[in-house]
Amino acid sequence: HGLGIACLRRSPVPRDSFIYISEPYENMPAALAGLQAGDKLIKIDDMECYGIKVSEASNKLRGVPGTTLQVVVERNNEQITLDITRQDIHIPAVSLATVLQDSIGYIAFSDFSVNSSQEFLVALDDMIQNKRIGFLVASIHTGSAQSLFKPLVREASHLDSGFFIFPGGRLNSQN
């Protein structure tokens, strides 16, 4: 339950001890209210955000669906105050499943959860049944996600497909 955003601290050095919005998820309360990637969290309700841990900010942003909190962010040296109502949040594990040229299937993961393998299999099965793919590229960006990918491949092995699955990173050095 929350606003549907990812937060991070840009730098571990004390000169910038603020937390930033790294991604407001599409069609979630934060994005609908106008929060943007790069917004600096100044205040959540009555809690000042300077120097707090990302986990503290995340815990404060979560809460009972239907309750409203006030968030103050800084964007372009201007403070913006928003009242945002929390909702049940579900971020799909598969953010994109499409067929590129030459029968190349592409599945991009946005998150890993208990439903990841099921969402992967549904997307893969749809591609096999309806789109005639011969090669699959799976885009996975974090080390923990890559380690979780191995069971997904095992689960997909019952599909008589002969696909090669490539868990790649954002940087060439991760591939």
Q: From first to last of its 175 residues, what are the pLDDT tens digits of the chain?
A: 899 988 888 766 555 688 999 888 888 999 999 999 999 999 999 999 998 888 899 999 999 999 999 999 999 999 999 999 999 988 777 777 888 877 778 887 766 666 777 888 888 888 878 767 777 777 665 544 555 555 555 555 544 444 444 444 443 433 3
Picking from 96, 169, 167, the residue whose alpha carbon sits closest to that of residue 126 is 96
> What's the whole-model pTM score?
0.61
CA distance to 41, 93, 136, per residue, from 44 (Å): 8, 28, 43
Helices 143-156, 116-131: inter-axial angle, 10-degree rounding: 50
Place of tokens 């707090």: 52
